[in-house]
Amino acid sequence: VSLQVSAGNAEIITQQLAEIMIKINSGNGTLGKLIQDSTIAQNLNQTIVNLKKSSKGLDENMEAAKHNFL
């Protein structure tokens, strides 16, 4: 019985993984869009660059404020 249950579970998991891959490959969902739409990936990369620049600027401003305050 245990072997039959395991085989049945493996079949269900395989079917579900196939459905997920179909959705990803067709560009559905967040992961599918990220993989299939290069514009989204580029926008995400630019957002990360902008956040790094903003963070660096904030660090510099905080350091300057610290020296001016003290």
Where residue 27 falls (left for φ over 0; alpha for ψ -120 to 50; beta otherwise) is: left
Q: What is the pLDDT of residue 13?
A: 96
Query: Tens-digit pLDDT profile for the chain (70 aa)?
Result: 799 999 999 999 999 999 999 999 998 888 888 888 889 889 989 999 999 999 988 988 888 888 887 6
Report the C-alpha gap between 34 and 20 in whole angstroms: 14
- Which distant-in-sequence residues (6+ apart) come within 8 Å of 9 by Cβ? none
Q: What is the pLDDT of residue 36?
A: 87
Q: Which domain holds residue 22?
A: 1-36
Report the C-alpha gap between 64 and 60 in whole angstroms: 6
- Residue 66 and residue 45 in one domain: yes
- Residue 8 and residue 32 in one domain: yes
Q: What is the pLDDT of residue 6?
A: 93
- Residue 24 and residue 48 in one domain: no
- Domain count within the chain: 2
